[in-house]
Amino acid sequence: MIPAKFDYIKVSSINEAVDLVDKHGFDAKILAGGHSLIPAMKLRLNTPSILIDISGIEGMNEIKESGDEIIVGANCTHKQIMSSDLVKNQLNILAQTAATIGDVQVRNRGTIGGSLAHSDPSADYPATVLACDAKIEVTSKNGSRTIDAEDFFQGIFTTALEDDEIITAVRFPKVKDGNYQKFYQSASRFAVVGVAVVKDGNGVKVGITGVADTPYRAKAVEKAYDGSTDAATHAVDGVDVMSDHFADSEYRAHLAKVMVKKALA
């Protein structure tokens, strides 16, 4: 469990980071909390020759209120998010989600930006990011842009991020009525199924992670929602459900319905 040789640079500004990414291209990797990247490097599944540590960039680890939005810096740790009063009061579903991730060590190091960029199909945040219709702020040498949550997740470990783009923040609308429900995988404690439900006057938005190779908005559930939990039966409509030795597609589909029902209740 010893990674291959690599260089390490800790940057203090986003400009410095995008310049280095531009300069080193494929040889470089952004390092945030390191809780997905370092394990992969130790197994030598990932062998970057240079790590650009962005954890010291000023302002990127702040949680701010801005009008109707809560802006979460990409470098905010899971621990920071679950303990922030602002998040707990205005965006409780995100605090709930963060609290289910890993263990204390993981939550103390891992970041929301790293989790979204890594895009593990069983990661927790994607469900909530989708259900909240959050917006992902990214920056590269060519400037900045905003990616809608629904466009962001594109497959297993695949996102709409360009190779040279860095996530700087995630913008969430304030959410009063949100609920995150997770069924834990017994070994990794990632989500076998994670369901985020956001309710507003008009209906529900449902984000589901762990079920398909890409986290998705359960539109069929949203459409069928009638105020009861009956719409949960539509949790996997039109979805190609994943299968592994903990949960084959039949059981996983069932679990998705159970967890959607819980989250709607």
Partner 1 sequence: MGSYIGKSVKRREDARFLKGEGKYTDDIKLPNMTHMAFVRSPYASANVLSVDTSEAEKAEGVVAVFTAEDGCGQYGVPCGWQVNFKNGETMREPQHPLLAKDKIRHVGEPVAIVIAETQALARDAAELVAVEYEELPAVTNPKEAMKDGAPKVHDQFPDNMAFDWCIGNDRAEVEAALEKAHHVTELEFINQRLAPNAIEPRSYIADYDVNGDKWTLYTSTQNPHLIRLLMCAFVLGIPEHKVRVVSYDVGGGFGSKIYHYTEEALVTWVSREIARPVKWTADRSEAFLMDAHGRDHVVKSKMGFDKEGHIVAHLTDEYCSMGAYLSTFAPAIPTYLHGTLFQGLYKTPLIHLNVVAPFTHTVPVDAYRGAGRPEATYLIERLVSKGAKEMGMDPAEIRFKNFIEPFDGVNQPGYQTQVALQYDSGNYAPALEKALDAIGYKDFRKEQAEARKNGKLLGLGISTWIEGCGIAPSAVVGALGARAGLYEVGHVRVQPTGKVSVYTGTHSHGQGHETAFAQFVADRLGIPMDDVEIIHGDTEQVAFGMGTYGSRSLSVGGSAIVKSIEKVLEKGAKIAAHKLEASVEDLEYAGGKWTVKGTDKSISFGDVSLTAYVPHDYPQGLEPGLDFSSFYDPANFTFPFGAHLAIVEVDQDTGKVDLKRFVTCDDVGNIINPMIVDGQIHGGVVQGIGQALLEEVVFDESGQMITGSYMDYAMPRADDLPMIETHNTVTPCPHNPLGVKGAGEAGAIGSTPAVVNAVVDALWHLGVRDIQMPLTPQRVWKAMQQ
Ligand X SMILES: Cc1cc2nc3c(=O)[nH]c(=O)nc-3n(C[C@H](O)[C@H](O)[C@H](O)COP(=O)(O)OP(=O)(O)OC[C@H]3O[C@@H](n4cnc5c(N)ncnc54)[C@H](O)[C@@H]3O)c2cc1C
Query: What's the closest the beta carbon of residue 232 comes to ligand X, in angstroms?
Result: 23
State how far the Cα of 193 lies from the Cα of 181, in Å rounded to an integer: 8
CB distance 158 to 119 below 8 Å: yes
If binding is defined by CB under 8 A, does position 183 make contact with partner 1? Answer: yes
The interface partner of residue 29, options being ligand X, partner 1, none and the CB cut-off 5 to 8 Å by kind, is ligand X
Summarize as ranges the residues that interact with ligand X (CB under 6 A). 29-37, 39, 54, 74, 101-102, 106, 109-111, 113-115, 117-118, 120, 123-124, 166-167, 189-190
If binding is defined by CB under 8 A, does position 265 make contact with partner 1? Answer: no
State how far the Cα of 167 lies from the Cα of 114, in Å rounded to an integer: 8
Give a three-class secondary structure readout of 129-175. HHHCCCEEEEEECCEEEEEEHHHHEEECCEECCCCCCEEEEEEEECE
If binding is defined by CB under 8 A, does position 176 make contact with partner 1? Answer: no
Query: What's the closest the beta carbon of residue 224 comes to ligand X, in angstroms?
Result: 28
Query: What's the closest the beta carbon of residue 1 comes to partner 1, in angstroms?
Result: 4
Q: Which stretch binds partner 1 (CB under 8 A): 109-117, 165-173, 187-195, 220-228?
A: 187-195
Interface residue with partner 1 among 44, 64, 141, 223 (CB under 8 A) is 44
Nearest to 59 by CA among 45, 44, 48, 74: 74
If binding is defined by CB under 8 A, does position 67 make contact with partner 1? Answer: no
State how far the Cα of 122 lies from the Cα of 242, in Å rounded to an integer: 10
Strands 50-53 and 7-10: parallel
Cα angle 109, 110, 112; round to 5: 135
Using the minimum distance from each CB to partner 1, give the nearer residue, 13 or 46: 46
Nearest to 259 by CA among 191, 202, 200, 203: 191
Query: What's the closest the beta carbon of residue 100 comes to partner 1, in angstroms?
Result: 13
Residues that bind partner 1 (CB under 8 A): 1-2, 4-5, 43-44, 183, 186-188, 190, 245-248, 251, 254-255, 258
